[in-house]
Structure 1
Amino acid sequence: MAAVRFGGRTIRIPGPPLLRIVVGLLLILGGMVGFLPILGFWMLPLGVLVLSVDLHPVRRLRRRIEVWWGRRRRRSPSDG
């Protein structure tokens, strides 16, 4: 079973790779119409997270965002 670590948490993602890629793409497409009820912008990062299990370029993007976010959170508000 595939797993993703993000923000210090490990999330298991079941299923064959092709199914995970299709689900990730559908989540991203659903997130693009986030103004509709039920579908929302929350689907975009979830789709990227699912895709990062199987696609190396997406994994690198996710890792860069995670590092950027961690550095941003460590800075104090007075550092500006």
Structure 2
Amino acid sequence: MFERKVPALRRPLNAIRAKGWWVVRVPVAFFFIIGGILAILPVFGVWMLPIGFLLLAVDITALRGPLADAIVRGRRRIALWRRRR
């Protein structure tokens, strides 16, 4: 979805999803998740949680289904909210 909406992200996203990058993805994903949990601090925020889980879902197949379901539900709720406004 991001590649279609922002074509400039195509190359970096393909590089991040490459096979040998799991060594970088997993620690960065855990950093984002921990940063999201520490959302009370000014630099960190809840915005870090979804990014961390998306990065983990690239390598952990068990997260892909639930994460895809959450994305679909979130997009539907946003669409309903926009229609009501």
Q: Could you say whether these structures have the same fold, taking a TM-score greater than 0.5 normalized by the shorter chain as the test?
A: yes
Stretches of structure 1 that go unaligned for 5 or more consecutive residues are 1-7
The unaligned stretches of length 5 or more in structure 2 are 4-8
Q: Which has the higher strand share?
A: 1
Determine the structure 2 residue equivalent to 1:9: 2
Query: Which ranges of 4 or more aligned residues in structure 1 deviate by more than 3 Å?
Result: 73-77
- Greater helix share, structure number: 2
TM-score (norm 1): 0.71
Q: TM-score, normalised by structure 2?
A: 0.67
- Identity over the aligned pairs, expressed in percent? 31
Paired residue total: 71
Q: Relative to 1, partners in 2 of residues 1:40 and 1:74: Cα closer, same or farther, differing over 3 Å?
A: closer
How far apart in 2 are the matches of 1:62 and 1:35? 24
Q: Alpha carbon RMSD of aligned pairs, Å?
A: 2.1
**Aligned-partner Cα distance in 2 for 1:70–1:27:** 22
Higher relative contact order (CA 8 A, sep 6+): 1
Find out whether 1:44 has 2:49 as its counterpart: yes
